[in-house]
C-alpha cells in the first residue's frame, strides 16, 4: 500500500512537472500531441478534442500498464505450488464490461459536440464566397460584390496563373462549393478541413461550410479528389488579410482592377507565393506534381 501511494505521488509530481514546464499553455506543441496548427477557430475546437482524447487514452494506458506490472510483480512464481485457482468474479466482470462502454460513449459525445461546431452554419455569416471547381482549376466568386459590369467580381485560375482567394480574418466566412463537371474537393490544409465539391448541388444547399480565420498569411489550397488528368494542377492560394484590407481589396476589384493589381494596392504580392503554375507536359516521372510548391 505504501509503495502504491509513493508511486501515485511520483506520477502526480511528474504530471505537475510537465504542466509547469509547458507553462500549461494547451496550444503549445507538447499538448498538441502532433496535431497540426490550424488557422481557424474550428481547427482549435478539433485540436482541443484531440488533446482531450490523447490525455484520456494515456490515462487508460497507464492504468492498464500499471495493472499488468502490478500483477506480474505481485503474482510472480514463488515456488512449485499451484496458486489459488479462481474464476467468475461477477462484480469485476460487470465493471470491465460497462467501463469501456462509458469510455466510448464519452469519446462519441465530445466528437459529436466538436463536429457540430465545425459543421455549424450561422444564419447570417459576415462574408460569403462561392467556389466553382472545374476541370482543372478554380473560380472564386464574391457574390456580395458588384463589379463594373454589375456582376459579382471573381478570380479564375488558368494554367498560367494560380488563382488567389482573398479572405478576411476575424469574420465568419461561408463557402458555397459547386462543380461544373466531376467531383473535386476543396482543401486548405491550414483549415484542417476539406469538403467534396459535388456537381448538381446548387449554391447554398449542401456543399456549404464556414470558418473564421484568425491568422494572416498565404496558404496553399488544393483539390483533394482525383478528378482527372490535370488534377494535380488544381492548386490555388488563400491570402488571409485584415478586415480593412479585405474591404479595400473588394473595393478595388469592384472598380475594375484585376486580382493582381488589387492585391498590390493593399500591399500584398500580386501573384501566388506558396505554389506555382504547373504547365501541362512539364511534370516528370520523378515527381514535381502534387505538392506544386
User: What grid cell was written down for 76?
Assistant: 510472480
Per CB under 5 A, does 177 bind Cu ion? no
- Preceding omega of 138 cis (within 30 degrees of 0): no
Name the minimum Å distance from CB 224 to Cu ion. 8
According to DSSP, residue 141 is labeled: E
- x/- mask, Cu ion, residues 39-68, rule CB under 5 A, reads ------------------------------
| Residue among 199 and 270 whose Cβ is closer to Cu ion | 199
Q: To the nearest 10°, report the CA torsion of 174, 180, 183, 188.
A: -40
The rounded distance, in Å, linking the Cα atoms of 259 and 67 is: 63
| Residue among 145 and 289 whose Cβ is closer to Cu ion | 289
Q: Using CB under 5 A, which of the segments 83-91, 123-131, 179-187, 279-287 binds Cu ion?
A: 179-187
Footprint (CB under 5 A) of Cu ion, residues 245-284: none
| Residue among 166 and 227 whose Cβ is closer to Cu ion | 227
According to DSSP, residue 68 is labeled: H
Q: Is the dihedral of CA 263, 266, 269, 272 positive or negative?
A: negative
Q: Is 21 exposed, middle or buried (0-12, 13-18, 19+ CB in 10 A)?
A: exposed
H helices present in 131-271, as ranges: 243-254, 259-265
| Residue among 200 and 256 whose Cβ is closer to Cu ion | 200
Cβ(233)–Cβ(159) under 8 Å?
yes
Name the minimum Å distance from CB 227 to Cu ion. 3
- Number of residues near Cu ion (by CB under 5 A): 4
Name the minimum Å distance from CB 180 to Cu ion. 11
Cβ(157)–Cβ(222) under 8 Å?
no
C-alpha to C-alpha distances, 170 to 21, 129, 163, 211, 221, nearest whole angstrom: 31, 15, 22, 10, 20
User: What grid cell was written down for 176?
Assistant: 458555397
Name the minimum Å distance from CB 263 to Cu ion. 24
Footprint (CB under 5 A) of Cu ion, residues 193-232: 223, 227
Name the minimum Å distance from CB 230 to Cu ion. 8
Name the minimum Å distance from CB 268 to Cu ion. 26
| Residue among 138 and 142 whose Cβ is closer to Cu ion | 138
Name the minimum Å distance from CB 194 to Cu ion. 12
Name the minimum Å distance from CB 178 to Cu ion. 13
Per CB under 5 A, does 234 bind Cu ion? yes
| Residue among 233 and 249 whose Cβ is closer to Cu ion | 233
Q: Using CB under 5 A, which of the segments 15-23, 112-120, 183-191, 240-248 binds Cu ion?
A: 183-191
Order of strands across the sheet that contains 164-168: 164-168, 236-241, 217-223, 184-188, 193-197
Among 184, 222, 239, 253, binds Cu ion (CB under 5 A): 184
Give the count of alpha carbons within 13 A of 163, CB side only: 24
| Residue among 173 and 223 whose Cβ is closer to Cu ion | 223
User: What grid cell was written down for 213?
Assistant: 480565420
Q: Contact positions toward Cu ion, by CB under 5 A?
A: 184, 223, 227, 234
Amino acid at each position: 500500500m505504501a509503495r502504491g501511494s509513493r508511486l501515485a505521488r511520483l506520477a502526480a509530481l511528474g504530471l505537475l512537472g510537465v504542466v509547469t514546464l509547458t507553462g500549461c499553455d494547451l496550444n503549445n506543441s507538447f499538448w498538441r500531441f502532433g496535431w497540426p496548427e490550424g488557422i481557424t477557430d474550428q481547427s482549435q475546437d478539433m485540436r482541443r478534442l484531440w488533446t482531450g482524447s490523447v490525455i484520456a487514452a494515456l490515462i487508460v494506458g497507464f492504468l492498464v500498464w500499471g495493472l499488468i506490472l502490478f500483477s506480474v510483480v505481485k503474482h510472480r512464481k514463488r515456488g512449485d505450488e499451484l496458486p489459488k485457482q479462481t474464476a467468475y468474479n461477477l462484480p469485476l466482470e460487470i465493471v470491465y464490461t460497462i467501463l469501456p462502454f462509458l469510455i466510448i460513449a464519452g469519446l462519441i459525445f465530445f466528437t459529436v459536440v466538436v463536429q457540430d461546431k465545425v459543421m455549424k452554419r450561422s444564419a447570417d455569416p459576415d462574408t460569403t464566397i462561392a467556389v466553382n471547381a472545374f476541370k482543372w482549376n478554380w473560380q472564386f466568386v464574391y457574390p456580395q460584390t458588384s463589379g463594373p459590369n454589375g456582376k459579382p467580381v471573381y478570380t479564375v485560375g488558368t494554367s498560367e496563373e494560380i488563382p488567389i482567394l482573398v479572405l478576411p480574418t476575424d469574420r465568419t466566412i461561408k463557402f458555397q462549393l459547386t462543380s461544373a463537371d466531376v467531383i473535386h474537393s476543396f482543401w486548405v490544409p491550414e483549415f484542417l478541413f476539406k469538403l467534396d465539391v459535388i456537381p448538381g448541388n446548387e449554391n447554398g444547399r449542401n456543399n456549404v461550410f464556414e470558418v473564421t480565420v484568425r491568422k494572416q498569411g498565404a496558404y496553399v489550397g488544393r483539390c483533394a479528389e482525383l478528378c482527372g488528368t490535370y488534377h494535380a494542377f488544381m492548386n490555388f492560394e488563400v491570402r488571409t488579410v485584415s478586415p480593412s484590407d479585405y474591404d479595400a481589396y473588394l473595393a478595388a476589384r469592384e472598380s475594375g482592377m484585376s486580382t493582381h493589381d488589387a492585391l498590390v494596392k493593399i500591399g500584398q504580392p500580386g501573384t501566388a507565393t506558396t505554389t506555382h503554375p504547373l504547365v501541362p507536359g512539364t511534370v516528370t516521372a520523378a515527381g514535381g506534381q502534387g505538392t506544386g510548391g
